[in-house]
Structure 1
Amino acid sequence: MPRPTPDLAAEVAEALEAFLRHLELERGRSPHTIRAYRGDLTGLLAGLPRPDLTSLDLPLLRRWLADAHAAGTGRSTLARRAAAARTFTAWARHTGRLPTDPGARLESPRPRSALPEVLRADQAADLLDAAGAGAAENDPLALRDLLVLELLYATGIRVAELCGLDVDDIDADRRTLRVLGKGDRERTVVFGAPAERALARWLQLGRPGLARPGSPPALLLGARGGRLDPRVARSVVHRAMTAVPGAPDIGPHGLRHAAATHLLDGGADLRYVQELLGHATLSTTQLYTHVTVDRLKVVHDQAHPRA
């Protein structure tokens, strides 16, 4: 774990490092979350007027957010920074580093739930057909890229979850994946026949061509035989989207949106989609119902005689 910036006083830097260890070891936060908290809190703590935590109070927290807002920081980022500050001050109070918790009264703007740009079902079919044609010669990388697209769309899993899969996480007979999601929550997701065929071709003809003696047990491998990096998987999706005229330029998360929306369009129960996506709360999944209602309004306006 990298050290904080040298602008922090020794006592403040020690408190930040202890907090980040708490997030990692006791609360099981991901490296991505810890990096975000480090960046947010380093900016906050660098503005302390004294070289200790006792000057961290509610007016300072509010000024910190206000300055970020004035600089054009978005609502989602402001909400994340406020959450990081509240978590830190609660921990500091609990560990005796602060006499009170100033973050308990800190409010932040709610991030707007912007409707995601969603791939239509016919565009998704064109995307996968083009990838399948590209894998016709059984090139290992083309077979891998086809499986990346098929699994992302078939299951709606996150790109980090996809790249974290091992071969043993696959139950080919039941067509299921064992996925380790956010907060180390494990769930089982299912996939259909097209993804099953892409998986079989990859395991038989693609993966052996990329595997090296020191390769990990990862399901998906990079060109040098290591575990596929999520950044490479993102580039695979963006590159594949260029083969679909008129389609939005989406990444893996866009395929996740598409999978959820198309399931709901097909009549899937909202709680089933919640389980598939690994959402902790149903309210997160309900975003996709807004997408389908929006699409329903378009159809109504175009087709209903009294629209």
Structure 2
Amino acid sequence: MTDTLPALERRMLSAPEFHALMAMPPELEWFANIRSEKTRRAYRNDLREFTRFLGIVQPEELRMVTRAHLLAWRTNLEERTLAPATIRRKLASISSLFDYLCEQNAVLHNPVLGVKRPAANNNEGTTPALGDSQARMLLDAPPTNTLKGKRDRAILATLLYHGLRREELCRLLVRDLQQRSGVTHLHVQGKREKTRYLPLHPMAQRLIEEYLIAAGHRYDQKSPLFRPVKNNTSGTLLKPLDPQAVYSCIIQKYGRETGISAMVHGFCVHSLRATAATNALENGADISKVQEWLGHANVSTTRLYDRRKSRPEESPTFRVKY
């Protein structure tokens, strides 16, 4: 019968593969449906930790989990003095799984519902933002006479002037530098495959152009925008930077060299995103525009970067006189 079907309609899966997919448990379907590699990695770790705590071996055993099991796990997390945000995320991971199982009629209810989570700090985020002088110090840290220095300056400017996530930075291609209404924009692929266009800051544009000319791939539209300057393993440079390399070889490196890492507790790649958002808000940007600019699904997340109410210079501390 298959010989009579058009080529495009013929089954590409073998019969055993076809039947194996039909028998896939909904627990595995849920995991396979998570598009973000970062989210998949976090959920995998949370689920592994949860099942290890309960002694679960087979996916089907998840369907016997009750609220009492979740309460016991939450107590265990609290006893380990994990941060409230970490506990909330872990519970959210398991809740996401059980929501899917409910949709598939694999369980009758989500046992995570009704399990109270640690209160969130809705006033201000914990990621530290840099001051203006510290941001300038970081931008000036890479050398100007080497290819790596030119690239790192361009990367730091892209992060500090546009508030990108490091995964978004690493996904940029040369063709993502696009003209819109006569202005160069960054075409950014964000979380959940959402696209946004950000006008390119003049300083970042200049540094990116200097880097691309020095690197020699300015007109290779399909090339990653930021590439390795050397590769001791395979020798190929035609690949995107690894997000971990951005942290260890750029942020950590220049953070140590400038002394920022010692001055700013918790300094990391996300600090540059927090710096961009905080600076934009302090200089009069509309918070709804900043929400779109950062790619936040909810403005409440953007408010975590709004530190205008906690400016040190406006503290009563500096009104005290003896």
From 81, 89, 93, the equivalent of 1:84 is: 93
Output one character per residue of 1:107-135: Cα deviation in whole Å (capped at 9) or x when no partner. 3213435443221111211221233xx12
**Distance across 2 between alignment mates of 1:207 and 1:115:** 40
Structure 1 residue 42, shift from structure 2 partner: 2.5
**Change over 3 Å in CA distance of 1:294–1:140 after alignment to 2:** same
Q: Give the 5 Å matches for 1:1-307.
A: 14-21=25-32, 23-24=33-34, 29-46=35-52, 47=54, 52-112=61-121, 113-131=124-142, 134-135=143-144, 137=145, 139-171=146-178, 174-208=183-217, 217-222=223-228, 223-224=230-231, 225=237, 226-235=239-248, 236-245=250-259, 247-248=263-264, 250-289=267-306, 291-295=307-311, 297-299=312-314, 301=316
Output one character per residue of 1:147-175: Cα deviation in whole Å (capped at 9) or x when no partner. 11010001011111001001111126513
Amino acid at match of 2:50: L
**Distance across 1 between alignment mates of 2:63 and 2:152:** 53
- CA contact 2:217–2:223 (8 Å) conserved in 1: no
1:220 is paired with a residue whose SS is: coil
- TM-score, L = length of structure 2: 0.78
Structure 1 residue 94, shift from structure 2 partner: 2.0
**Distance across 2 between alignment mates of 1:276 and 1:71:** 37
- CA contact 2:173–2:225 (8 Å) conserved in 1: yes
**Distance across 1 between alignment mates of 2:141 and 2:46:** 42
Stretch of structure 1 that moved more, 190-199 or 241-250: 241-250
- CA contact 1:58–1:103 (8 Å) conserved in 2: yes
**Distance across 2 between alignment mates of 1:84 and 1:160:** 21
- CA contact 1:143–1:206 (8 Å) conserved in 2: no
- TM-score, L = length of structure 1: 0.82
Corresponding residue for residue 6 of structure 1: none
Amino acid at match of 2:240: R
Larger radius of gyration: 2
**Distance across 2 between alignment mates of 1:54 and 1:300:** 53
- CA contact 1:93–1:99 (8 Å) conserved in 2: yes
Q: Which runs of 5+ in 2 are unaligned?
A: 1-23, 232-236
Amino acid at match of 1:120: G
- CA contact 2:125–2:305 (8 Å) conserved in 1: no
RMSD of aligned alpha carbons: 2.8
**Change over 3 Å in CA distance of 1:97–1:48 after alignment to 2:** farther
Give structure 1 regions of 4+ aligned residues with deviation exceeding 6 angstroms: none
Amino acid at match of 1:242: R
**Distance across 1 between alignment mates of 2:98 and 2:43:** 13
- Number of aligned pairs? 281
- CA contact 1:189–1:276 (8 Å) conserved in 2: yes
**Change over 3 Å in CA distance of 1:93–1:201 after alignment to 2:** same
**Change over 3 Å in CA distance of 1:60–1:207 after alignment to 2:** farther
- CA contact 1:90–1:104 (8 Å) conserved in 2: no
**Change over 3 Å in CA distance of 1:208–1:58 after alignment to 2:** same
1:78 is paired with a residue whose SS is: helix
**Distance across 1 between alignment mates of 2:201 and 2:303:** 24
Structure 1 residue 259, shift from structure 2 partner: 0.8
**Distance across 1 between alignment mates of 2:315 and 2:119:** 31
**Distance across 1 between alignment mates of 2:155 and 2:216:** 13
**Change over 3 Å in CA distance of 1:15–1:239 after alignment to 2:** same
Output one character per residue of 1:230-284: Cα deviation in whole Å (capped at 9) or x when no partner. 1111120221223434542622211111111111121111112111111111111
Structure 1 residue 298, shift from structure 2 partner: 2.6
**Distance across 1 between alignment mates of 2:36 and 2:80:** 28
Q: Which runs of 5+ in 1 are unaligned?
A: 1-12
Output one character per residue of 1:11-59: Cα deviation in whole Å (capped at 9) or x when no partner. xx945322201x33xxxx3111112112222232341579633421111
